[in-house]
Structure 1
Amino acid sequence: MSEVKSVAVVGCNIGRSHIAEGYAPRPERWRLAAVCDLNQERLDKVADEFSFESRTTSFDELLVRDDIDVIDLCTPPATHFELVTKALAAGKHVVCEKPLVGSLRDVDLMQEAEAGSGRILMPVFQYRYGDGAQKAKRIIDAGIAGKPYLGTVETHWKRTATYYEVPWRGKWETELGGVLMTHAIHIHDMLTYLMGPVSKLFARAVTRVNAIEVEDCVAASLEMASGALVASSATLGSQNEISRLRLCFENVTFESAGAAYSPGDDPWTILPANDAVAARIDALLADYQPVGRRFLGQMDAFHEALNGRGPVPVTVADARQALELATAFYHSAQTGADIALPIGPEHPKYASWRPNGH
C-alpha cells in the first residue's frame, strides 16, 4: 500500500482551505491529482495556485481514474448524497464537508453504502483539531475531569445579505438549514465529542437577521445522557464573531479561547479543582504531542487511518449524531415540544427535518 495518497478536490470555495491547510503542506502524504469545479475561472485560479496535475469541470471524469485514491467533496450540501454515493461505488475513499446529507434516512443509507464499498467515508469536523480541544479530550477520557455538570456553547457570527447572494445559500432546498446546520453544527459536534450524547432538548429558532428562508437565531436547552445540562445559542447577527465552549465538570472547568473559526486551538483555560487534580493533568499531558490545527489535523489523522495506523478520525456515526441533534432542534422549534433522542426511522422527521414543502 502506497504511503502517498492521491486526492481530487471537488469544489473550490471551502475546497481551497482543504488544499491550503490540509493537503499542500504535506506533499510527502498527499499528491494533488486533480481539482474540479463548475466555475472555470475559480477552477483555474485554484489549480494554478497549487499546481494541480489536472483540472476538470466533470465530476464523472474523476470516478474512472485509477490514479485517484480520495475524492474530497466541498460542494453545496444538497449535492452530497448523490456525489458521495457515486464516489464510494467507484471505489474511492471520500471526504465530505458538512452537513453530510439532508436527513437521518440519508445518513443511514450512507453508512450502508460505506460498509458495502470497502472504502472510508470521512465527514469533515475540523474544529475538533487544535491543542486546546485535544488536551481537554484526553483529560476527560482519562477520567480526571469526573462527572459533567453543565455547559454553555455559543456560535455568534455575522453574516450579511452579501453572504446570501450565493444562490444556494439561505434556502431549505439547497442549504438544508440555516445557522444551526451550516454554522453551529461545528460547536455542537465539539460538545458531544467532549461531553457525550444528548438525551433531550427544547429549542426555539427564528429568522431575524437576514431576509432568508432558514433560521439565523437559535436558543436551546439540552439534557445530556450523563444528566448534565447545556445551554446553546447561535446567531448570525453578532457584531463580533466567537465560537465558545465552557464546560463544567466535577474536577475541571474547561473554556475555549473563543476564536470563531478555530475554537479547538490553544490556549484553552483548564481550571483544576485542586492541586491533586492539577498534578494528574500535568502528568497526563507530559508527553502530549501537538496536533495540526483544523484541516491539517484532521487530514493528518485521516492519512494515518488510510495507511492502517489509526482509527478514522471522524466517522459517519459522528455525522449521524450531529444530524440527529439538528433534527431534534428543528422538530422542537417547529412543534414547541421537548424532543427525546436517539431518533430512529419511526420519528416524523427521520426522512427530513425541513418544513413541509421543502
Structure 2
Amino acid sequence: MQTYKVAIVGTGGIAAVHADNLARTGGRAELVAACDVDQGRLDDFAGKHGIPATYLTLAELLAGAKPDIVHLCTPPMFHIDQAIECLEAGVHVLSEKPPALSLADFDRLETAQATGGAQFSCVFQHRFGDASAAARHLIGGSEFGRPLVARCDTLWYRPDSYWDLPWRGTWNAEGGGPTMGHGIHQFDLLLHLMGPWEEVTAVAGRQARATSTEDLSAALVRFRSGAVATMINSLLSPRETSDIRIDCEYATVELSHLYGYSMDNWTVTGAPGHEDEVTAAWTSRPLEQGSGHSAQFLAMYDALDAGRPLPAGADSARQTLELAAAIYASAFTGQPVRRGQIVPGHPFYGGMDGDGLGTRVLDATALNRTAVDTAV
C-alpha cells in the first residue's frame, strides 16, 4: 500500500476536519503542505497540524510540494478553477462540495482530467462506511426487494448571522442555498443507494433568512427504477435532523442523524413475514466502519493503489450536481425537469440561478409576502 503525499488548499473550518481525518488513515497519507491567502491563518493551521511547508498560492504549492493529492477546502466559487489547475498538473483532486457552481463549469473537468492524467473526486463522505455499503448492496436485491418510495430531508437551522460572511448566500459564490450547500450531501447518498433519477418537480423559496438565494426547497423525484422520493432542504428548522427512509418491497431502511452517522443511526425493519430474512441479510454484512471523511480517504487510496477510478468521481458527482440544477430549474420555471434536459444553451446549464430567473422569482415571492403581511 502506497503512502500518498497530500496537500490542503484553504485552511478554514472544514480544513481542520480534513487534517484530523488524514491523521486517522493509519499512515496511508502524509500531509506535506498547506495553502491559504491569509498568512496568519495559514501559519496557525500548519503549526497545529504539524505541516512542514506552506504556500500563499496554489501554483507555488504544486511546484514546490509536488503532492499526489490536493484537498480543496476553499469557498465554493474557487473549487472548479483550482481543481482544473491541479488536474492539468497531473495531481489528483478531492474537492469539498459543491464540486462546481454550474454544470457548464463542471463539464470542464473532462478535458482537464485527460490533459493531466489525474482524477477528480468530490467529498461525499456519507456514501462511505459499512452501513452505506450494506444498504446499497441489499436495496434492489432479493432479500430487501426493489425500492418503491423514499424521503430525504435535510432539516437544518442557520440564523441570519450565518450569512455575515460576504460570500455566503449568493449565486456567484455558493451557487445556491441549502439545495447546493447543505442538502447535497444527503440527496447524494439517496442517489448512491437508489440509483439514477429521471424526473423532478420542485419548489423553492426565501421564507425567512437574509440571503439572496433560497432558504428552502422541496422536490418530488422519480427514479429510473420507478421509485418516487420526496426531498426537503431547509435552513429554517430549529430541531435539526438529516433523514433518509427507503421503503422496499420487503424492508424499510432508515438513517437519522445530523452531520455524520454511526451504525446506531441506521434502522432496518422487515415487512410482515420477512423479518427474519431481512435481519439476517443486514447482519450478515460488515457493520463496523462508520461514515466520514477518513472512510472516503481510505477508499480513495485503495482505488489509486489498484488503478481503479476514484470513488465519488466526476461521473457520479455530476449526477448529483445535475439533480441540484434540475431542482432549481423546476422550482423557478414551474415545470418538471428530466435528467439530461439541462444541456448547453439551457438557461440553467450555466448557473443555478437560470440567468437571473431564480433571483426574480424569489424577489417577487418575497415582495408578495410582504404586501400580504402589510395588508393584514
Give the TM-score normalised by structure 1.
Answer: 0.93
Distance in 2 between residues matched to 1:141 and 1:306, nearest whole Å: 29
3-state SS of paired residue (1:208): coil
Q: How does 1:48-59 map to 2 (within 5 A)?
A: 48-59=47-58
Verify the 8 A CA contact 1:132 1:266 in the aligned structure 2.
Answer: no
Equivalent position of 1:286 in the other structure: 284
Equivalent position of 2:369 in the other structure: none
Of 197-206 and 141-150, deviating more is 141-150
1:351 to partner: Cα distance: 2.2
Structure 1 residue ranges, 4+ long, deviating more than 4 angstroms after superposition: 274-277
Equivalent position of 1:18 in the other structure: 18
Distance in 1 between residues matched to 2:275 and 2:290, nearest whole Å: 27
3-state SS of paired residue (1:266): helix
Equivalent position of 2:88 in the other structure: 89
Of 224-233 and 57-66, deviating more is 57-66
3-state SS of paired residue (1:345): coil
Equivalent position of 1:61 in the other structure: 60
1:289 to partner: Cα distance: 5.5
Verify the 8 A CA contact 1:127 1:261 in the aligned structure 2.
Answer: no
Distance in 1 between residues matched to 2:285 and 2:57, nearest whole Å: 47
Verify the 8 A CA contact 2:9 2:35 in the aligned structure 1.
Answer: yes
Distance in 2 between residues matched to 1:37 and 1:282, nearest whole Å: 50
Q: What amino acid sits opposite 1:15 in the alignment?
A: A
Distance in 2 between residues matched to 1:39 and 1:302, nearest whole Å: 29
Q: What amino acid sits opposite 2:32 in the alignment?
A: A
3-state SS of paired residue (2:108): helix
Q: Which one has the bigger helix percentage?
A: 2
Distance in 1 between residues matched to 2:218 and 2:278, nearest whole Å: 36
Equivalent position of 1:350 in the other structure: 349
Report the aligned-residue RMSD. 2.0
Consecutive unaligned residues in structure 1, runs of 5 or more: none
1:201 to partner: Cα distance: 1.1
Verify the 8 A CA contact 1:127 1:264 in the aligned structure 2.
Answer: no
1:311 to partner: Cα distance: 4.7
Change over 3 Å in CA distance of 1:28–1:38 after alignment to 2: same
Verify the 8 A CA contact 1:144 1:277 in the aligned structure 2.
Answer: no
Verify the 8 A CA contact 1:88 1:117 in the aligned structure 2.
Answer: yes
Percentage of pairs with the same residue: 35
Distance in 1 between residues matched to 2:333 and 2:131, nearest whole Å: 37
3-state SS of paired residue (2:257): coil
1:117 to partner: Cα distance: 2.0
3-state SS of paired residue (1:352): coil
Of 301-310 and 273-282, deviating more is 273-282
**1:265-323 deviation digits (Å, cap 9, x = unpaired):** 53311112256563365256435163352101100100111211755221111111011
Verify the 8 A CA contact 1:128 1:264 in the aligned structure 2.
Answer: no
1:75 to partner: Cα distance: 0.8
Q: What amino acid sits opposite 1:92 in the alignment?
A: V
Distance in 2 between residues matched to 1:259 and 1:41, nearest whole Å: 35
1:251 to partner: Cα distance: 1.3
Verify the 8 A CA contact 1:130 1:266 in the aligned structure 2.
Answer: no
Verify the 8 A CA contact 2:140 2:146 in the aligned structure 1.
Answer: no
Verify the 8 A CA contact 1:131 1:264 in the aligned structure 2.
Answer: no
Q: What amino acid sits opposite 1:51 in the alignment?
A: G
Verify the 8 A CA contact 1:155 1:243 in the aligned structure 2.
Answer: yes
Consecutive unaligned residues in structure 2, runs of 5 or more: 360-376
Distance in 2 between residues matched to 1:236 and 1:280, nearest whole Å: 35
